[in-house]
Amino acid sequence: MSSSNFKVVVAAKSAVPGIQQLQDITLSDSAAVMIDEVLERAEQLETIDNESDLELFREVQCSLDDVLGSLEASRRILTAPFASAVKLINSKTKTFSAALFLHSTRLKAALGAFYGEKRRAELEERKRLEDMVTAASLAAMRSDDPATREEMQQLAGQAQHAAAEAVKPNEGVTVRLGWDSELCLGGGPIVARTNPQLLRFELNKIAVNAMIKSLEDDGTEIGEYTIPGIRLTPRTSLSIRR
């Protein structure tokens, strides 16, 4: 099966000279028949009960791989011109935008530091004023002197008004404060014990397989729980020889 096994349907030329809009890709009639035939044979195979079944399974599996390989080869032939164009466009765009991106990142970092410091100072001031409101209101409640109560109430009102306006909007900028996080040296076991939901564990399969091979080379019999904390299950990789 080659690229001729596909029907490439293209729309009329666009406003850009030499550029056509890909509308659809379909299988040729012969390719569609070939795929239907191999799928029909595969769907009839269920269990391996004897040597004849085994041979048939291998034969159909080879046919499936052949068709899949042909489809992939056809795909590569069809996409090669597009892939080259996309690679060139991406490369040129990256070159053209490198200096722009560098300065954009630098200026954005400087703006972030400025607005972040400003917002944190505003939040600290609002907290100070809110504490002042609480303290003045409490002092007014506890005072037996009318003049003192009035003074504390006025102070609480002024502080409350100031607290409401302490955090000022920034024209054209949205400021969100948060925290970055990273594990400290040796912090993995501590977090796993105290806050396991904060971690996402993934096995290094290459390292696991290397350890299994090393254990087998040393004469260790591999079982389900040979490696502490890891469950091993048998796996078979199959490659059919022609």
**60-106 pLDDT tens trace:** 999 998 888 888 888 888 888 888 888 888 899 899 899 888 999 99
Helices in 143-204 by DSSP H: which ranges?
146-164, 187-194
Tokens describing residue 157: 């009102």
Which pLDDT band, with edges at 50, 70 and 90, does 126 fall under? very high
**Domain final residue, candidates 96, 131, 146:** 96
CA distance 28 to 20: 21
In the predicted structure, residue 25 carries a pLDDT above the cut 90: no
Which residues, in sequence order, are bridge partners of residue 6? 27
**Number of domains forming the structure of the chain:** 2
pLDDT for 27: 83
Residue 57 maps to a domain? yes
3-state secondary structure 219-231: CCCCCCCCCCCCC
Q: In 3D, which of 33, 34, 7 has the Cα closest to residue 22?
A: 7
Tokens describing residue 32: 């569609």
Which pLDDT band, with edges at 50, 70 and 90, does 12 fall under? very low
Residue 164 maps to a domain? no
Residue 82 maps to a domain? yes
Residue keyed to tokens 């040796």: 186
CA distance 74 to 129: 71
Domain residues for the domain of 72 are: 3-96
